[in-house]
Amino acid sequence: MKYIINYILLAVLAVFLLTNTAFAQFKKTILFVPHDNRPISFHQTVDNIRALGYNVITPPENLIGNRDDLGHPEELADWVLKNAYKADYAVLSSDALVYGSLVASRKHDLTIATCQKRAQNAFDELHQKYPYLPIYVFSSIMRTPQTSAASSEEPEYYRVYGTSIARYTALLDKQEKDGLTGKEEKELKTLKAQIPAKDLQDWMLRRAGNFTVNKYLVDLVKNKDISYLILGCDDNAEYSQTDRERRLLDTYAGDINGENYQSVAGLDELALLMMTRAVNQMKGDIPFISVHYAEGTGGDTVPAYSNEKISASVKTHIKMAGGIEIPNDKRADFVLLVNTDKYGKTYAANELNNTITPHENTASFVDMAGKYIMQDKNVGIADIDFGNGSDNALMNMLWQKNYLSQLKAYAGWNTPTNSSGYTIGMGMLSSYANKEETMKMIVPRYLDDWFYQANIRQQVANKMDSFSGQGNYGDTMSRTAQAQNYAESLMNKAVEKYDFAKIFNNYNWDKLQVSFPWHRLFEADVIVPEKNK
């Protein structure tokens, strides 16, 4: 009898070990649907998670929206249903699953009923089929570009009336929140008369569809059909239609606001934050983050494209990713340093004032970074002094001090909140990473944000007219290959100038490639393979 009992116990133990071994392997898989196929939205974000050894399942790229093809939402939803059984977590863009892509969410001609039906088909069915799958959703609150210059991703009439529409709706928002002066009341009436009623109606109707979908997603969180929901405000301002809708949605969320639901300034960084949250959940960890700002306005800076202080966005991003902001550096798993302009301004990285000449607070900021690096802390820098690229003075000084290879996270791309959120996600992930894995995450940022966005981008733009064929900054057309080759030559010169082959010697620098996947100069895909691949 004793032997029989021992045999049974051994058999049970064997089944337990086998089950948990399979579970351990299965538990490292995230199913991810991005809101488009831009490098930062798609493969660069995915690469950060894969660098740590996690499996990320992504849809066939032909289903993901790009510049020319706005996406295939129904096919994407079907793909999710068929593949979710493989995943331990799902991180999904509602813009992709409802409209097809982020750009499609701004230009579609869908009825409100169709939008809501697609949301039901995508998320209701997923929860019903996989009731125990944690579903993290990120969605946009439709942006309000402040000028007509941002019209390439908006309806055609925005080229003419975009600035007026933005100002008109900003005044409506201010009227609701704070009231208008007599002068502003007159301006409001004048703008309403100037904007064609059919164009304004079209724009507001599309926004109504977006608002309805986001309310529905909030309901799904309340019903526990969605585990976590982030609403991101893309291209926002203190007074804007985007800000008004965010306010209404936050109020509608009620008790879940700040728990399983959160809204924040910024959007493109949310995918990495949600996947970081999934990794933290799988690790069973809650990272502690301490935050410090450059001298001057610092955390009170309200950066461009945002409607709130950067300190508020940072605090929210940390919470979204599953961490806690703490005041104690000693207990921090990651120290975030935010490079802000001393006077709270946000400049454009491709402007002439982005030189290597240090600003008033550059040296003190670099000294602060050096202090924490010498303490062997995991240090990351959110570089938001400039929008759409790095601060050249900061990067040059970090290079001179030999700090580039000692940082654990860095971002300086696109809007300031994109950069700060992305740095937070990367910094949390770096807590689980070795040196090689960290470099896989950070080297692409140096190449893209610093070399390309802050420098090479404008040099290529200035050269475009000398290339044969047709094309310009916004659409490279038949000049694409020439622009890529020129950008690649400039990138190689920068790599040589800053001795990257020596600093980051695990890469085949002679095989570096630069491409423009969206056929415009605003974003580039810079790829350099590792030596062992």
Indicate whether 244 and 333 sit together in one domain: no
Q: Structural domain tally of the chain?
A: 2
Indicate whether 29 and 166 sit together in one domain: yes
Beta-strand relationship, 89-93 and 135-141: parallel
Q: pLDDT (tens digit, 9 = 90+) per residue, 377-407? A: 999 999 999 999 999 999 999 999 999 999 9
Indicate whether 215 and 346 sit together in one domain: no
Indicate whether 270 and 310 sit together in one domain: no
Q: Token pair for residue 420? A: 């700060």
pLDDT at residue 2 greater than cutoff 80: no
Is 140 part of any domain? yes
Indicate whether 258 and 279 sit together in one domain: yes
Q: Which of 318, 377, 529, 334 has its CA nearest to residue 440?
A: 529
Cβ-based neighbour number of residue 1 at 10 Å = 5
User: Residue 378: which domain range?
Assistant: 288-527
Indicate whether 370 and 509 sit together in one domain: yes
Is 345 part of any domain? yes
Is 478 part of any domain? yes
pLDDT of residue 7: 43
Least confident of 19-23, 128-132, 355-359, 459-463: 19-23
Q: pLDDT (tens digit, 9 = 90+) per residue, 18-74? A: 333 333 344 599 999 999 999 999 999 999 999 999 999 999 999 999 988 889 999
Is 533 part of any domain? no
Q: pLDDT (tens digit, 9 = 90+) per residue, 500-530? A: 999 999 999 999 999 999 999 999 999 999 9
- Which is more confidently placed, 500 or 11? 500
DSSP secondary structure code for residue 524 in this structure? -
Q: pLDDT (tens digit, 9 = 90+) per residue, 408-452? A: 999 999 999 999 999 999 999 999 999 999 999 999 999 999 999
pLDDT of residue 260: 96
CA dihedral 480, 270, 216, 221 (to 10 degrees): 150
Q: pLDDT (tens digit, 9 = 90+) per residue, 332-349? A: 999 999 999 999 999 999
CA dihedral sign, ordered 449, 451, 454, 460: negative
pLDDT of residue 27: 55
Is 532 part of any domain? no
pLDDT at residue 242 greater than cutoff 80: yes
Indicate whether 310 and 216 sit together in one domain: no
Least confident of 70-74, 146-150, 153-157, 389-393: 146-150
Q: Which of 312, 400, 323, 320 has its CA nearest to residue 362?
A: 400
Last residue of a domain, one of 255, 283, 311: 283
Beta bridge partners of 33: 92
The percent of residues in the chain predicted with pLDDT above 70, rounded, is 94
- Report the distance separating Cα 420 and Cα 399, nearest Å: 21
Is 143 part of any domain? yes
For the residues 202-223, what does the mean pLDDT come to? 96
Last residue of a domain, one of 253, 283, 313: 283
For the residues 188-203, what does the mean pLDDT come to? 96
pLDDT of residue 307: 87
Is 160 part of any domain? yes
For the residues 168-174, what does the mean pLDDT come to? 95
Q: Which of 146, 101, 147 has its CA nearest to residue 242?
A: 146
Last residue of a domain, one of 233, 255, 283: 283
Is 15 part of any domain? yes
Indicate whether 397 and 504 sit together in one domain: yes
Enumerate the H helices of 357-468 as residue ranges: 362-374, 392-400, 416-430, 435-445, 457-463
Indicate whether 241 and 323 sit together in one domain: no
- Indicate the pTM of the whole model: 0.93
Average pLDDT, rounded, for the chain = 93
Q: pLDDT (tens digit, 9 = 90+) per residue, 276-326? A: 999 999 999 999 999 999 999 999 999 998 889 999 999 999 999 999 999
Indicate whether 130 and 203 sit together in one domain: yes
User: In the structure, what pLDDT confidence band is assigned to residue 470 with cuts at 50, 70 and 90?
Assistant: very high
The percent of residues in the chain predicted with pLDDT above 90, rounded, is 89
pLDDT of residue 6: 46
Indicate whether 279 and 343 sit together in one domain: no
Q: Could you tell me which residues come within 8 angstroms of residue 312 by beta carbon, excluding any fewer than 6 positions away?
A: none
Indicate whether 268 and 296 sit together in one domain: no
